[in-house]
Structure 1
Amino acid sequence: MKNSLIACAVQQSCNSGRERNLAYSLQQIELAAQQQADLVVLPELHLDHYFCQSEDTACFDLAQSIPGPSSFVLAEAAKTHNIVIVATIFEKRAPGLYHNTAVVFDKDGSIAGTFRKMHIPDDPGFYEKFYFTPGDLGFTPISTSIGKLGVLICWDQWYPEAARLMALAGAELLIYPTAIGWNPYDDPLEKQRQLDAWITIQRSHAVANGIPVISCNRIGFESAPDQGSGIDFWGNSFIAGPQGEIITSADHMQDTLLFATLTASRSEQVRQIWPFLRDRRIDNYADLVRRYID
């Protein structure tokens, strides 16, 4: 990793339509560049409302190829501002084959690499299995001019195996573009438990692997098209250091930019005092590839 880099997470609402959503993202990228950011992370599927609240074949019309219209615009922004951008796009790979795909644009405007969401949820309000084929690119870091980025997407953030495999493959930081929120009908205690769990699991990935984590969530209420309860996206984006320490964080109410300076030397120091990778008992982990141990 570049010995010292400035990372920026863009917490934004995404319920204004594709044209306005993209324009707002581009505006935030420009603001981040003005503050010398090297890396900008956008929320999951930031181009559109969260269409996975229902199963509707008309929503497949939102998908696009990569490269394609939105990636061309984002690539130009990366080149213009000399900045690395992580964005997620509803990818149309082939007729009837779609993915939730993170695209990493390097500072020269090239596509440094892609990651297709591996773990696909199917829960009330999050009917992603209807739309997205599970990723087939594996847990492979994306090499950029600022370092190797371990990009994962939302539901992937709950799985320690995904974070570990990225770290073992050389990822120097973990990045989670996210779209997660509350059911408005849940009581305040349940909402707090969910939020605390979400923050805790991602901080634990930083601790277990000795590398920073960037978690970038969308914000705001998005109604369900079928008159369901809708989702109140809870924001609370944050950037944590390699010991899980919160460097900067957002609230659940405001669009904002989060900035943090991350250094490779800090991760190296943490791995020296907490040598978790050294002490792994790889000779006894074979059962991890089993669904369940009877």
Structure 2
Amino acid sequence: MNKLLKVALVQQSNSRDLANNLEKSIKGIKQAAAENAQLIVLQELHRSLYFCQTEDVSVFDLAESIPGSSTEILGQLAKDLGVVIVASLFEKRATGLYHNTAVVLEKDGTIAGKYRKMHIPDDPGFYEKFYFTPGDLGFEPIDTSIGRLGVLICWDQWFPEGARLMAMKGAEILIYPTAIGWNSQDTKDEQIRQRDAWIIIQRSHAVSNGLPVVSCNRVGYESDPSGHSEGIFFWGNSFIAGPQGEILAHAREDQEEVLTVTLDLQRSENVRRIWPYLRDRRIDHYHDLLKIYRD
């Protein structure tokens, strides 16, 4: 029997106006719900600018507790609309202890669970190690009324281990709130290679695990507050892929969009019967994966 699930993602641009950013997210959620979406995914750190372009201690003022004001607002919205929402927040766990956290709001407005970003980058323009402590909740899917969700965040999407562990624990969908973009100093060819690699790696997680993937990126230009760089052009290109990596919906690189598509989760069962990757894994010879590198 088919198990149909209508999913949506909200690709938006952000500004310094926190209230306006949240209103954009809410508007996108309402539009998706009006199109009968049951699961709605927001982009990474959707409440603010991507503040990790610089290291600035005053930015910690943006962090909030979970539960907190954002989960209260989005939880009430989830309840009013009867949808499940995946939101990405700057979590204050304690003074001096912060996480990049995705929280899942259930249809009744409660918090179904949360995931703290495990892989934390530290690159020019992406100084996340200054702000975020690596997650300590592991790669644990979150059970909801619409299925078991494998939620990860941005840099996690480049690591096959996270996707595999989510699949091994019964995730039915892989979900990646994201904030990634171009450096204007890169050539056009290099920009295309980076964007294509980003799409390919996530489609490969769909293929190797036989699961749909929902990847929600931000869009638009955000300047570097320090003036040391030319800022980031977030490349959009949010997409939803099926369990063989097939693109089911794909957003543009320069516009805000709400993407919706109906997934048939039974396809994962069918695909896994044809391509039994889990059956043929040679875990008796994978012990070296526990090493950082084989010298």
Whether 1:162 aligns to 2:154 is: no
Residues 7-48 of structure 1 deviation map (CA, whole Å, 9 limit, x = unaligned): 001111122521000011111111111111000000000000
Distance 1:62 1:105 in 2: 21
2:252 aligns with 251
The 5-angstrom pairing of residues 1-294 of structure 1 reads 3-227=3-227, 228-294=229-295
Amino acid at match of 2:260: F
Distance 2:115 2:144 in 1: 14
Distance 1:279 1:248 in 2: 31
Aligned residues: 294
Residues 211-252 of structure 1 deviation map (CA, whole Å, 9 limit, x = unaligned): 000000000000000012100000000000000000010110
Amino acid at match of 1:264: L
Distance 2:212 2:283 in 1: 24
Distance 2:92 2:123 in 1: 23
Runs of 4+ with >2 A deviation: none
Gaps of 5+ in 1: none
Normalised TM-score (structure 1): 0.99
Displacement of 1:265 in angstroms is 1.0
Normalised TM-score (structure 2): 0.98
Residue 197 of structure 1: SS of its match in structure 2? helix
Amino acid at match of 1:13: S
Distance 1:209 1:254 in 2: 31
Distance 1:35 1:241 in 2: 20
Distance 2:284 2:18 in 1: 49
The percent of aligned pairs where both chains have the same amino acid is 64
Residues 36-66 of structure 1 deviation map (CA, whole Å, 9 limit, x = unaligned): 1000000000000011000000000000000
Distance 2:148 2:114 in 1: 12
How big is the alpha-carbon RMSD for the aligned residues of Structure 1 and Structure 2?
A: 1.0
Distance 2:198 2:12 in 1: 18
Distance 1:152 1:264 in 2: 19
Distance 2:17 2:42 in 1: 16
Residues 251-293 of structure 1 deviation map (CA, whole Å, 9 limit, x = unaligned): 1011001111112211100001111111101111111110111
Distance 1:34 1:103 in 2: 22
Residues 115-137 of structure 1 deviation map (CA, whole Å, 9 limit, x = unaligned): 00000000000000000000000
